Every structure is written in structure tokens, then in C-alpha cells.
Structure 1
Amino acid sequence: MINVRNRGFAVPFLQRLIQVNTCNPPGNEHKLSLLLQDELRELGITSSISNVEQGRSNLEAVIAGSGTRKLMFCGHLDTVSPWSAAAGSYPPHGAVIEGGRMYGRGTSDMKSGLAAMLLAAASLHQDGIRLAGDLVFLATAGEEVDSCGARLYAEQHRHDLPELDGLVIGEPTGSRVAVGHKGALWLRISLFGRSAHGSMPQLGLNAVEGMMEVIALLHRHALEWQATDPVLGSSSLSVNKITGGVQTNVVPDQCTIDVDIRTVPPLAHGPLLREIEDKLQEIQRLHPDYRYQVDQLLDRSVVYTDPGQRLITTALEIAAQQRRQGQAGGPDEEAEGDAAIDVTPVQGVPYYTDGSVLHDNGRLPVLIYGPGDHRLAHQPDEWVDIEAFLESIDFYRELAIRFLGKAEE
């Protein structure tokens, strides 16, 4: 019988995932859903695919246990765009192995975490270990842009999410236990003026120059509402895209900026958006010929789980034991319990995850844990450490066993 946790199976399995191009846009995640379904079928596990839109889908598999407890392993199928040949040394979908690393788009973010969670679940089925609860594996489409897959799942399973007892997101954390992430609010602000000949600017209303005042206002306002959380870090505001103007000799009548706002408690997105709109109205009263428009592009809530929650304490115990095993170079003979608890403080991650869509309005404990390094995400020559990937399979497997328990014989 094939051992799915064995290097000879697990590493080529991850390579096959990396070699499937699921760069978003457009995503094309359905190709990977079909590959995973075929792999699961070979291992004797039934799965279902839900279409999100043309060429895009989610995949779900349930390792049924006894009892009513439920734990979900969740990861996304899509990646960001590939790097150019000039930017990197390795092909984005080559899954090249060199120096103990696998290179490719999605190796860190987050096909390594996705593969490890699937293999962990499959190993339990393969070994005949019946858990005292259901283990749900969910692979989603579209996390890198709009979480379309997670949103569809949440809509289709709105009566099932309250039945979950824990959610594990396999995003890159460098094999560290993370308990949450900042919220994300993306805004598109458009300013409309009046065009004129570039030689007679007094006859127009320059939207690009007017937008400079809006940007300055946003940064001043960000200083007023800035907040800091000991785990999640500080709030931030960044103007990351600007478009405007037609050509050099035409006064621009329109300018648009995209603003990325990251929030931590106690900031709330609704009141914050209203404050920004109020500030813009103050400018408009001073410059009544301008017209403003604010569109919300993305709204992802803060995710935070109390470190005392059982899902987190269990994860800390397992992570600490794996570290000691690695340092000793052999099995850890210490008993489970307080001696195994990690003394390293828990952390947050800077990016947002599908957890903000699936955490049932903050009720559900969320653990973020993955073998990748978030600093490599979206970068040229993205890679994952192969040993970290293999260790994460054992981590997820042990987490499911300890959190759900084994069914009584």
C-alpha cells in the first residue's frame, strides 16, 4: 500500500499541483479540482466539485467520523500571476527541486499547505483511523482576488458552518502558529473635474491635481484613526494605484485611485468608510465643481482567535514537539501535556485569508498554519522547503487526531 506521507509520494504529488497553472486571473481552478478528485479517487476517497463559474470550481471531501464534532482543513487552488523569465531563474510552473527547495508559483502560497492538508486527511483514511468527528477538506477558487469560491461555499452551506468546531487555513506561516490576520478594506475613489486645452488650464478643472489633495487627506485621516494590536500589528493605509488623464496637452477631467486599508481592533470598516466619505464631502464643499465617487472593492473582516482556544493550544503543543524532534534528530519521548506547549508567543499574519469569509461572523476558532514563507508569496522564484512541507503533513494529521479524538473501538 502506498504511504501518502512518504517523500516518494508526497513530493511528486506537490509537483503535480504546481505544474497546473491556476494563476488568477483567470484562475482555471477547475483543472486542479479534477486532478485532486482523481488523486482522491485513487486513494479511495469520495469528493465533490462545485462549479463557481466557467472553468472555476471548489472541491470538498469529508473523512467521516463518529460523533458530532467537525474540523475543516481549507486552502485555495489559485495563485497570483507568474513571474517573467527576466524576473526569475526558475520556470513558474516547473516545480524544479534544487538545494532542498521546490521552486514554482504557489509553492509557498499555498499549494504546499493545500497538498499537506489533503495528504494528512488521506493518510488517516488510508490507515483506517476513524476519528470521533468529521474532517472536512475544502479547496476553494479565487482567494487571491475576491474569495469567490469561499463566498459561494458560505452561501451554499450557511446552515452547516455553525456546525464546525474549528477551521484550519494552510496559508504560509513558516510552520508557526498564527491566530489571525488584519482586516482589509479596498476602496476606489474617483474624482471628476472638467477637461480643457493644456494651454488654457484655467478653463478646466484638473482632476489629477485635485486628487493630490484627496491623497493628502487620506494620509492625515489615517494618522487620526491608527490602531495597534499586540498580535496583529498596526493598521495601515496605502494608495497603490492611480489612473488619470488622456494626454499631455489635455487637462484631465477624471482621476481614480485604489486604496488598500488594513485594520486591527477596535477599527470597524463601516464607521471608517463613513468617516472617509464625510471627509470627502468637506473637500467638495470647498471645491463644489468637483464630484467624488467611492466604490468598495473588497471588505474582509479581522480574524482573531483567543490563544486559549483548544484548537490553538493543541497546535502549539504539536509544533513544539516537532521542533524538539528536529533539534534532537530523533523521536520525542516526552509525554503530551503542559511540557509540550510552545512558549513562543502566537502571531498574526499580514495578509487576509478565506477565514474572513468562513469564520461564521467570528464564532469559529481559526488556526492559520502552513509550511510556506509568507515573505516569498507573490515573489519571483517562490519556493518551499521540502522538509517543512513533509513535516506539515504530520502536523495536520496529528492536529486532526488530537482535536477530534479517535472513535471508540
Structure 2
Amino acid sequence: MNPIDLTSDPVSLTAALVDVPSPSHHEKQLADAVETALRTIPGIPDSQVIRRGDTVAAATRRGLGQRVILAGHLDTVPIAGNVPHRMVDGNMHGCGTVDMKSGLAVYLHLFATLAGDPDLAFDLTVIAYACEEVESRFNGLGHLAVSDPEWLQGDLALLGEPSNGIIEAGCQGTLRVKITAHGARAHSARSWLGDNAAHKLAAVVARVAAYEARSVDIDGCVYREGLNVVRLESFVANNTIPDEAYAMVNFRFAPDRSPEEAYGHVVTYLALGEGFTLTLEDSAPGALPGLTQPAAAALIGTVGEVRGKLGWTDVARFSPLGVPAVNFGPGDPAFAHRKDEQVPVAQISQVAAHLRKFLTTRPA
């Protein structure tokens, strides 16, 4: 493959990134290219570029007083006949165009072109990480937080998640609980001899459906919670009363709750009695927006529009470190993971322009 030029305009750079296939667990070729490009930036010595697996990071160390972290993932969902990229009516189509190679291209471009610029107002860290689209245990940013936590330290972190070119601050937390109902198996012709576990779940489903979602305003961002059944399962045979049934329930919670508080809230609300077992399958904390922090406030002043992120993203990995984090990237997230994934090229340029202005404006 041809070398990647990080100083090329962000639209061309997006196309170059898209044209290197990088589905999860297969990011090596793209990681190699990005690492090589970062190591050729004037003024960035090898000691300021690190590689951990297929995650690559680089940093400036100019003593500018504050640090902004620019992070984006290298991987995509499986390719669906949509590589290489193609242009249609001002939109770039292709796997990863919106999630999130356009955002990563903007970040890599700005790092490369501002690293030695006298107008740079913040020291920069750029992180291109692997395995965001798969289970959390593989996540390259999570691994970096464990192996090299100092690389996630800063005054503001930006994730290149598609946000339609506006700021989506913080994120919701999420947890899943498995509710298992226990009964007794019997022939359906003699159902009174059994105890139908599936029927027991009816009250649980009704309880979840009646949940009144809380809306929370934090730093002017509204996060709406939700409790929902996302899976139901019970079966033995077509002529048999099931002795076990389960419901998987997902709770999306505002970032003012910890995962422990959120789990306790679900347990209390469901108020399960005898005959049920509740198991916490997984959980991930939310992230507070932190928009009152000076660097975050300055970014809002540049971009203008801000809202809360109604979903979970890797911004949550910065919250335990006390680093405010926002999602800021081009593209409509509704196009993520689709065969017709696409991003308006004008929005790539717009995000790059807004971010360049922010990164070259001295804090008040």
C-alpha cells in the first residue's frame, strides 16, 4: 500500500483510511501505516510515539500548559462490499466513513499539521486504537488505560464518534441483568402438575414496561434513562411446560449514577420475590460531561451546539481519570454499520475547521 500522508486534507485522508480494510482484529496494516506516518512528523521524536498491539499513540511535549487528547478507533465492522470508497453527490460512501475513519482522519491531520505550529495553544495527544467494535475486553483504548495510563491524562479528551458535527458530551452508562424464572416441568396436557416459568415472567415484563424513565440535566445536557427487556427465552418442547425462562433487561442510566447505584436501583425497582434469580451480566459506567472545565467551555464556544450523548462510548474511559470528554466528529451515526455507510465531505471539512480554530486559540 502507498504511504499515508497525514498532512493531506482531511477528506483525502479519510478516503485513504477507508481504502485500507481494517475490520476488528485485522487492524495491523492500517496501524502500521499510521505508526509510520506519525514517526515521520517533524519535531516528534520516536520516544513520543508508542505502539501497543495495534494501538498507536503520539504526543507533543511543548510545555503549553494544557493538553487535549484526540482519540479514534482504527477498526470497522465487517466489510460488506463497501471498500474502496466512492463519492456520490458530495457524500463519501464506504465502510468506516462515518464510524469513525472520518473523525480519526480529522484528528490525525490536525495533530500532524499543528504539532510544530507556533499557533498551537494546547499540547496534543493522538490515539488511534484497535477493537472498539467488539467486546470491551479487546478494546485498545481500555488496554492503554491499564498499560500506559499517563497517555490518557489531559485537560480535555475528544472522541471522533459521529455526532453530526456538533458536540455530544459525556455518555450514558449501561448494564444488563438476566432475570431467570424457575418453575417445574410437566406435560402440557397435564399443565396443572407443573409450574410454568414463562408465565412467571409476565409480571416482570409488565413491571419493566411500566418503568417511568428519569431525565437528568447535567451541565445543560439532558440524559434520558431507559429500562427495557431486550431478550426473552423459554423452551423445552412444544408439548412441555418450561421449568425455566429468562428475560435480559438493559438499563441505560444517566452519568450521575455509578454502576453500583444503577444496579441497586434496578434490583429495588424490580422487587423480585421467590422463584427468581437475578444475575448482573455486565455494566459500564457513564461519563459526566464536565463542560464547566475551561478547555471544554472553550470548545463549546468555538463549535456552538452541544447535547448529551444518548448512548455509551469510550469517553467513559476518561471519566475515572477526571478528564472531561466529549464526542465530536463528522457524520450521522444513523449510517454507522450500514452497507450504505456515508459521510458528507463538507462536514469533514467543517469539523476540521472548528477544531483547528479551537486548538489554535489561547485559553482566556
Fold match (TM-score > 0.5) = yes
Partner of 2:126: 137
**Shift in CA distance, 30/295, structure 1 to aligned 2, threshold 3 Å:** farther
SS at match of 2:189: coil
SS at match of 1:200: helix
SS of the residue 1:372 aligns to: coil
Q: Given the alignment, which residue of 163, 167, 172 partners 1:177? A: 167
Distance in 2, Cα, partners of 1:368 & 1:234: 17
The code of the aligned residue for 2:14 comes to L
**Matched residue of 1:347: which SS?**
strand
User: C-alpha distance in 2, partners of 1:22/1:191?
Assistant: 42
Alignment correspondent of 1:238:
228
Q: 1:95 to 1:244 in 2, by over 3 A?
A: farther
CA distance in 2, matches of 1:159, 1:232: 31
Cα RMSD of the aligned pairs, angstroms, is 3.0
Q: What is the count of residue pairs matched by the alignment?
A: 353
Q: Tell me, in whole angstroms, the C-alpha distance in 2 between the residues paired with 1:29 and 1:138.
A: 14
Q: CA deviation at 1:166?
A: 1.3
Q: Which amino acid aligns with 1:402?
A: T
User: What secondary structure sits across from 1:211 in the alignment?
Assistant: helix
**Structure 1 unaligned runs (5+)?**
52-56, 84-90, 320-341
TM-score, scaled relative to structure 1: 0.75
Task: Using the TM superposition, give the Cα deviation of residue 194 of structure 1 relative to its aligned residue in structure 2, in angstroms.
Answer: 3.5
Structure 2 distance, partners of 1:72, 1:310, is 15
1:352 is paired with a residue whose SS is: coil
- Note if 1:314 corresponds to 2:298: yes
**Aligned-partner Cα distance in 2 for 1:377–1:238:** 23
Once residues 179 and 403 of structure 1 are traced to their aligned partners in structure 2, the CA distance between those partners, rounded to angstroms, is: 22
CA distance in 1, matches of 2:150, 2:113: 29
1:339-350 pair list within 5 angstroms: 342=304, 344=305, 346-350=306-310
Q: After superposition, where does 1:200-239 map in structure 2 within 5 Å?
A: 200-220=190-210, 222-223=211-212, 226-229=214-217, 231-239=221-229
1:246-285 map, 5 Å: 246-264=236-254, 266-278=256-268, 282-285=271-274
Counterpart check, 1:152 vs 2:140: no
1:48 to 35, 47, 50: 50
Instruction: Check if 1:73 corresponds to 2:70.
Output: yes
Go from structure 1 to structure 2 and tell me whether the alpha carbon gap of 1:403 and 1:176 turns closer, same or farther (over 3 Å shift): farther
The corresponding residue for 2:17 is 17
Q: Whole-Å Cα distance in 2 between the matches of residues 75 and 37 of structure 1?
A: 14
Do structure 1's residue 115 and structure 2's residue 105 form an aligned pair? yes
Contact 1:207/1:254, CA 8 A, preserved across alignment: yes
Quick check: 1:5–1:390 contact (8 Å CA) kept in 2?
no
Residue identity opposite 1:180 in structure 2: G
Change (3 A) 1:13 1:227: closer
| Secondary structure, aligned partner of 2:360 | helix
TM-score, length basis structure 2:
0.84
Identity of aligned residues (%): 25
Post-superposition CA distance 1:215-264 (Å, at most 9, x none)? 222233x32x6233352232112222233324423333333333222222
How far apart are 1:367 and its partner, in Å? 2.9
Q: Deviations along 1:120-176, whole A, 9 cap, x unmatched? A: 101124x65484653111122333344432222222234564x41111111111111
Are residue 294 (structure 1) and residue 291 (structure 2) matched? no
Contact preservation (8 Å) 2:175, 2:251: yes
Amino acid at match of 2:347: A
**CA positional deviation for 1:268:** 4.2
Q: Does 1:64 align with 2:61?
A: yes
Q: Determine helix, strand or coil for the equivalent of 2:221.
A: coil
Which one is further off, 370-379 or 104-113?
Answer: 370-379
1:314–1:403 CA contact under 8 A, matched in 2 = no
Matched residue type, 1:318: T
Distance 1:173 1:251, change over 3 A: same
Give the structure 1 partner of residue 320 of structure 2.
Answer: 360
Secondary structure of 2:343's partner? strand
Cα distance change, pair 93–199 in 1 and its aligned pair in 2 (3 A) = farther
Instruction: Report the alpha carbon displacement of residue 42 of structure 1 after superposing the two structures with TM.
Output: 4.9
Q: Within 2, Cα distance between the matches of 1:50 and 1:347?
A: 33
Q: Distance in 1 between matches of 2:105 and 2:111?
A: 10
- Cα distance between partner residues in 2 of 1:283 and 1:181: 29
Correspondent of 1:33 among 11, 31, 46: 31
Q: Aligned AA for 1:227?
A: S
Residues 78, 6 of structure 1: CA spacing in aligned structure 2 closer, same or farther, 3 A cutoff?
A: closer
Q: Say which SS state the counterpart of residue 245 (structure 1) adopts.
A: coil
1:21 shift after superposition: 4.0
For 1:107-128, what per-residue CA distance to the aligned partner results, in whole angstroms no more than 9, with x for missing partners?
1121110111011101124x65
Partner of 1:364, secondary structure, is coil
Say if 1:402 and 1:130 are closer, same or farther in 2 by CA, change over 3 A. Answer: closer
Aligned pair partner of 2:345 in 372, 382, 386 = 386
Aligned-pair distance for 1:214?
1.8
